[in-house]
Amino acid sequence: MNDTGILGVRAWRIKRGISLPAIAAITKLSLRQLEAIEAGDFSRLPGGIYNISYIKQYAQAIGFQESELIAFYQDACAPPKAEEPVKARPVSRMSRLLFQH
């Protein structure tokens, strides 16, 4: 993680003078979970619907746009897009005749 956090949220929080312990007290999230959100290390969160709830609470606590942070999370956790399968070249009639046994 860089010093600003994902989408600059860490720098945003610090600029506003909000500490992680203050957010933890308001949201009841652990410092570990808050640090994970800032770092974009979502594997350290419990998963599922909880992650979105935690991210929303964090965004609200620092006055950051919830939708931006949720969109980042969803993009980061989306399964990789399947590449288009490579289409096989049609086998020519001559090739079929050459390789028949």
Task: Convert the pLDDT of each residue in 41-96 to its tens digit.
Answer: 999 999 989 999 999 999 999 999 999 999 999 998 888 776 666 666 665 555 55
**Got the DSSP string for 39-98?**
HT-GGGS--HHHHHHHHHHHHHHHT--HHHHHHHHHHHHSPPPPPPPPPPPPPPHHHHHH
Enumerate residues 6+ apart whose C-beta is below 8 A from 59. 9, 65, 66, 68, 69, 70
CATH number given to 6-78: 1.10.260.40
Give yes or no for residue 26 having a pLDDT over 80: yes
Q: Give the pLDDT confidence score for residue 37 in this predicted structure.
A: 95
Grade residue 97 by pLDDT with cuts at 50, 70 and 90. low
Q: How much is the average pLDDT of 9-35?
A: 96
Q: Roughly how many angstroms between the first and final C-alpha of the chain, as a whole number? A: 60
